[in-house]
């Protein structure tokens, strides 16, 4: 297991190097610059700004300077957020994004598994049809449309929740639901299909024929094996929540890291774009590694295959 973890950490470092390099050159080679706007700056002022942020240096020198700073966990100053560094923006915005993301993951896992189990044990009944209809809606309808519908129905019409901003727990519910619906739908379909497959196994049929309690069979035996694919989906789920939060935070006016990222794209804020991309890449790659380790600990077949490789 230790060799596997070290090998994966090496792969993570290589992947991060590629991501940082590609992001850097894409930003630098894109048309325009952070100081391009409708109102053209005088050449002297633009030259001074370029010199201040090192944008007048040769491209290779900018690249190696930036790479050296990233190694020391310094993503540089923000070009558009005056007086703030990218590290400051991450420190301020990430806790908000983390809370939103964790709430969305909890909602997606709990209700996704619940709908999947209910659909499987009540196959071809109204519960099954209702659960899968919700899943289809969650998969096919974009999150920004879901967010707008939730705002219109539950905030503007029913006045149950605030329309936007981020002040109390009530403010987190609508954006968390909007962010969770797509992964919830996938988890529900995944749980249903896996649960149906497990329920058709011989050991489940044998337990039923011996008169074991149906709830014990479902929740102690069938559900445990059905959750393994859900565990393996935790990595993509994290990616889904991270990328989806960019739009959701902007729609609901949430002061999270995703909103800063979207604004930085509009402003051509190179350092924020590269810093947030690198930061979220680290989180995503480490979360995938953790999921793989957990999967190996709970699935004996992974342990056996690992021993055979050694």
**Residue 310: pLDDT over 50:** no
Question: Which range has the worst mean pLDDT, 5-19, 35-49, 165-179, 196-210?
Answer: 35-49
The token duo for 47 is: 């030259």
Q: Which CATH superfamily does the domain covering 91-269 fall into?
A: MetI-like (1.10.3720.10)
Residue 223 has pLDDT above 80, yes or no: no
Query: What ranges do the domains of the chain cover?
Result: 91-269
**pLDDT tens string 89-129:** 999 888 998 899 999 999 999 999 999 888 888 888 898 89
Assessment of whether the complete model's pTM goes beyond 0.85: no
| Predicted confidence (pLDDT) at residue 309 exceeds the cutoff of 70 | no
Flag whether pLDDT at 296 surpasses 80: no
Return the pLDDT at 36: 67
Tens of pLDDT, residue by residue over 239-267, are: 888 877 888 988 998 888 888 888 888 87
Count of CA atoms in the C-beta half-sphere (13 A) of 248: 30
Q: Taking residues 76-99, what's their average pLDDT?
A: 87
Query: Is the pLDDT score of 211 beyond 80?
Result: no
Q: What is the pLDDT of residue 145?
A: 92
Give the model's confidence band at 307: pLDDT under 50 very low, under 70 low, under 90 confident, else very high: very low
pLDDT > 70? residue 201: yes
């Amino acid at each position: 297991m230790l060799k596997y973890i070290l090998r994966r950490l090496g792969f993570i470092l290589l992947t991060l190097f590629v991501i940082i390099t590609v992001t850097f050159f894409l930003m630098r080679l894109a048309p325009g610059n952070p100081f391009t706007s409708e109102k053209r700056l005088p050449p002297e002022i633009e030259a001074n700004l370029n010199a201040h942020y090192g944008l007048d240096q040769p491209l290779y020198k900018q690249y190696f300077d930036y790479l050296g700073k990233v190694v020391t966990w310094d993503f540089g100053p923000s070009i558009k957020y005056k007086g703030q560094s990218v590290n400051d923006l991450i420190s301020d915005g990430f806790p908000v994004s983390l809370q939103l993301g964790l709430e969305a993951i909890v909602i997606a896992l709990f209700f996704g598994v619940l709908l999947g189990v209910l659909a499987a044990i009540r196959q071809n009944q109204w519960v099954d049809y209702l659960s899968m209809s919700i899943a289809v809606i969650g998969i096919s309808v974009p999150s920004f449309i879901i967010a707008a519908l939730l705002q219109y129905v539950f905030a503007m019409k029913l006045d149950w929740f605030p329309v936007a901003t981020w002040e109390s727990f009530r403010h987190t519910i609508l954006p968390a639901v909007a962010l969770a619906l797509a992964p919830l739908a996938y988890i529900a379909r995944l749980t249903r299909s896996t649960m149906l497959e497990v329920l058709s196994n011989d050991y489940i049929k044998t337990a039923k024929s011996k008169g074991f309690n149906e709830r014990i069979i479902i929740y102690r035996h069938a559900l445990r094996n059905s959750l393994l694919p859900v565990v393996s989906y935790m990595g993509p789920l994290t990616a889904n929540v991270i990328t989806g939060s960019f739009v959701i935070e902007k729609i609901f006016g949430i002061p999270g890291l995703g909103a800063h990222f979207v604004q930085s794209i509009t402003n051509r804020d190179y350092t924020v774009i590269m810093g947030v991309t690198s930061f979220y890449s680290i989180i995503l790659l480490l979360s995938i590694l953790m999921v793989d380790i957990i999967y190996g600990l709970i699935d004996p077949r992974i342990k056996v295959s690992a021993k055979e490789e050694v």
